């Protein structure tokens, strides 16, 4: 298991599992964060993030442009989202 750490800045999550994954995070109003996840590997990967603040819900951006709640679990600072990024897959989530 490897940690891919982002640039500096408090509160940034880190992608866990595969060197071929990256993400981009933006801070939103009212404490929510949007995270765009990119899988550049040839294998599907589970979405697991290390977070510094508790997450109370996760929403996934749908093709129609609306946000849909998605299942997740959080143990200490490891957030596991019930989503698998397929090869060359992209996922956009909002963490609140």
* pLDDT confidence bin for 62, thresholds 50/70/90: very high
As a whole-number percent, the residues of the chain with pLDDT over 70 amount to 70
Domains of the chain: 3-95 (2.60.40.1180)
Average pLDDT, integer, range 2-22: 50
The token pair that represents 60 in the structure block: 């996934």
Q: pTM here?
A: 0.74
Distance CA 31, CA 11 (A): 11
């Amino acid at each position: 298991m490897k940690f891919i750490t982002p640039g500096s800045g408090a509160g940034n999550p880190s992608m866990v599992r595969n060197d071929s994954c990256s993400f981009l995070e933006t801070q939103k109003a009212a404490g929510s964060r949007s995270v765009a996840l990119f899988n550049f590997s040839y294998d599907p990967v589970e979405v697991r993030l290390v977070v510094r603040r508790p997450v109370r819900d996760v929403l996934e951006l749908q093709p129609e442009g609306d946000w849909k709640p998605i299942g997740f679990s959080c143990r200490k600072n490891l957030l596991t989202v019930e989503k698998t990024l397929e090869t060359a897959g992209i996922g956009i989530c909002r963490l609140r």
